[in-house]
Structures are given as C-alpha cells and as structure tokens.
Amino acid sequence: MSATTKDMTTGSPMKHILTFAIPLFFGMLFQQMYNLVDTMIVGRFLGVEALAAVGATGSINFLIIGFCNGVCSGFSLPVAHRFGAKDYKALRKLWANSVWLSVIFSAVMTTLTVLLCRWILIAMRTPENIMEYSYAYIVIIFAGIPATYLYNLTSGMLRALGNSRFPLIVLVISSVLNVALDLIFILCFRMGVAGAAYATVFSQLISGLICVIYIIKKVDMLRLKRDEWKWQKREILELCNAGVPMGLQYSITAIGSVILQSAVNTLGSNAVASVTAASKISMFIVCPFDAMGSTMATYGGQNAGGYKLDRLHKGLGSCVLLGAIYSAIALAIIKFAGPTLLTLFVDSGEVEIMTQAQRFLWINGLFYFPLALVNIVRFMIQGMGFGVFAITAGVLEMTARTLVGAFLVPHFGFDAACFASPLAWIFADAFLIPAYFHVWKKMKGHLIQK
C-alpha cells in the first residue's frame, strides 16, 4: 500500500477516523473559505444589499452545486468498495467511466441552469432590490459547474483510496488564490458580486487541475491506459446507482431550503442578510461534522467492501463520540465568539441584523449533536451501499423545512425560520438511526449466505 492510499479495513477504527478526518476537516475549512471570503468581502465592501443578494442564492446554490458534489461523492463509493475488496482492475474501470459520466452531467446541468437562472430567482420571490445582484452572482457559479465536477470527482477518488491529505494541500493553495482574486476583482477591477463568483469558479478549476496532475503522476492505481477508457454499461449503471441517489439526497434536502429561503425572502432584505451572515458562520463551525460524514463514507465503503461488519459498529461508535464532544465545543464557540464573528460580514451598527443573526446562530447551535448524527449515520449508510435510505432521510429534512417555510414563517416570522434546520435534523435522525441497524443486519445476512 503506497503513501497515496490508506487501507481502513485493519487497525484501530478511532485512529483511522482521526487521521483521515483531521486533514479532511482542514480541507473543508478552506473550502468554506470560498463562500466565507466571498460573503465577508461582499458584505463589508459592497453593502447590505449585495450581501443579501448573495445570501438569497444560497439555497439554490446548495440545490444545484450540492447535486454535483453528491454525485461525485457517490461515484467514489463503488471505488472504495473495490479498494476494500482489493479488486484494482475493477476499480480502474469505475474510475474511467466516472469521468465519462461527469462530462455528460456537467454539460447538461450547466446548460439548463444558466438558461433557467433568472426564472428560478423570480420563482423564489427574490426581493426586487437585490434581483440583479443575485443573478450576476449565481449565473457565473452555474456556468462554472464543469470546474465543480472536475475538483469533486478527482478529490473524491483520492479520498476513496484513503488519501485525505493531498486534497487538503490543494484547497489551501486554491483558497489563498480565491482570497487574492476576490480582492483583485472586487476592489481593484470593481466587478461587484460577479467578481466574487469568478474568483470562486477559477479557484475551484485550479484545484481540479492540480488533482488531475497528481493522479497522473503519483497514483498508479488510478493511472489509466488507452484501452481502459471504454464506456462500459455495467460500470455506468453501478456508478449511477451510487451517484444519482447521493446527488438527489443533497438536492432533495436543498428543496426544503429553497422553500424556506423563499419564505425568508418575503420578510425583507434585512432578514435575508441576517440568515446569510449567521449561516456562513454556522457552515464554518460545522465543518468537523462534514468531515466526520465524509470520513464515514470512506470508512463504511472500504469495510463494507471487505465485509468487515464488526468494524462498522466500532467505527460508528467512535465517530459518534467525537461528534458529541465537538457539539459542546461548537456551542461554546457560538456563545463566546458568535457576535464577534458576525461583524466580519455586518457592521455592528446594523442592530436589527446583528440581533437576528445571533438568535439564528444560538438556536441552531443548541441542536448541533442531532446534526452530527445526521452526517455520521447517513454517510455511513451511503458508504455501505444503501443510498435509497439516505434519500429517504433527505425527504424528511425537506419535509420539515417545507412545513416551516410554508406554514410557520408566514405566521411567526423570523423566529420560526431559526427552528427550521433543527427540526429537519431531528426528523432525519428519527429515521437514520434505526435504518443503520437494519442495513447492518441485511449485510450480515448476505455474509452468512455466502
């Protein structure tokens, strides 16, 4: 086993989880800097309306880009299975066909989203005073979907082989580039919110290209010969069965966020700005939960591929313990540093926005442990190869956010919006926890039959 891969089917589960998740956490931390720096510079230098405009696109951004990320993560799961089973020939077939699928998916999605972009914003009831800003930002993000696929596919494959360190190095480089381009495009070239979008897309493109070069030069297991670049129906179907459900899970969850965002939009640009600023801080704080989820997808995929069922329980228990500890730490961060962090996006003189944003952060922070469980258990189930269960959890999250957005926000206003995500996490956990034990027993039955 080379230094570019990591076999998680032997050794201490806690050690594997920590050594894999820590670099992944820092990688996601830097990835969040794409959006964080965009929002911070937009809010501080372009004003509240521009900040609200970028925030108003957040849920539709999550809907579309989340599908891209989910599909690529799903494509990596069969690769992790083959890696755990030591079937490297089949692994390369899956890698080649995932490239073909990514080209097709990115071309179709880019065309549709760019053409329908303005109509989507109108349907979301984006406030008229920020409509043009929102369009200028999100249409460029959608045009950059091929760059999103390039990075997420290549980094996802590296993680499937147990390599979470190199994607971290790449994201550090591209994040620094993103900060520099944000400042150049917005402050020097006066490109407005469009400049922030261009910086994000270009930085992600660079990340993907660096990963491609690394794979070609360093990862023999993924280095393809000419005759291996064949479109193969069986591999295509397997990849779609893993990738599309995972992409839909992200998108289905995001549909509820779109409906909720539409409801928040009716409360005015101050409410939108409050949710935007608080959400950016929250996304930054919860990066460890995202890292734990991605870690369990790889851990679950490799151990399920090798039928190491006893290690699935041990790994899940170790990660849940880590999730509980960090949930307490995250709440303390919000309590003591939340107001200061919000001033990165909003001037402290904006009293209404600051007050609402702090309330949003605190209420969400109280429910971070249910969020930790959502990430850990759902991605474990996906890694084990049961993507349909993850979609069901996504439907429950969507249902909770839809109920809040459609019925509670119109009557109770901003306070109702604060409880939308906590309710969604609780709905999902109520399904995911028993679902994990169900799929584990199902795998055990298959092993006995073998």
Q: What is the pLDDT, as a whole number, of residue 33?
A: 66
Token code pair at residue 405: 């957005």
Contacts of residues 118-127 at CB distance under 8 Å and 24 or more positions apart, as own/partner, are 120/60, 121/56, 121/57, 121/60, 124/56, 124/59, 124/60, 124/258, 124/261, 124/262, 124/265, 125/262, 125/265, 125/266, 126/56, 126/265, 127/52, 127/56, 127/265, 127/268, 127/269, 127/272
Give pLDDT tens digits for 8-64: 888 889 998 998 888 878 877 766 766 666 667 888 788 888 888 887 887 788 889
State percent of the chain over pLDDT 70: 96
Tokens 């939340």 sit on residue:
338
Q: What is the pLDDT, as a whole number, of residue 2?
A: 53
Give pLDDT tens digits for 186-230: 999 999 899 989 998 999 999 999 999 999 999 988 988 888 888
Q: What is the pLDDT, as a whole number, of residue 447?
A: 63
Q: What is the pLDDT, as a whole number, of residue 262?
A: 81
Residue 268: pLDDT over 70: yes
Residue 369: pLDDT over 90: yes
CB–CB of 353/274 below 8 Å? yes
DSSP 204: H
Residue 165: pLDDT over 80: yes
Residue 294: pLDDT over 90: no
CA 387 to chain centre: 16
Residue 1: pLDDT over 70: no
- The H or E element that residue 355 is part of is helix 351-365
Residue type at 334 in one-letter notation: I
Token code pair at residue 314: 């041990």
The pTM (predicted TM-score) of the whole model is 0.76
CB–CB of 393/432 below 8 Å? yes
Residue 310: pLDDT over 60: yes
Q: For the residues 335-347, what does the mean pLDDT come to?
A: 86
Q: What is the pLDDT, as a whole number, of residue 450?
A: 53
Residue type at 220 in one-letter notation: D
CB–CB of 245/387 below 8 Å? yes
Measured CA to CA in angstroms, residue 76 lies from 28, 71, 79, 191, 324 at distances of 17, 9, 5, 37, 27
Reduce the DSSP state of residue 173 to 3 states and report it. Answer: helix
Give pLDDT tens digits for 90-133: 999 999 999 999 999 999 999 999 999 999 999 888 888 999 99
Give pLDDT tens digits for 396-431: 988 998 899 888 998 898 999 999 999 999 999 999
Q: For the residues 305-321, what does the mean pLDDT come to?
A: 90
> Whole-number mean pLDDT of the chain?
88
* Sign of the Cα pseudo-torsion (270, 275, 278, 279, in order): negative
Residue 376: pLDDT over 90: yes
Number of H helices, E strands in the chain: 18, 0
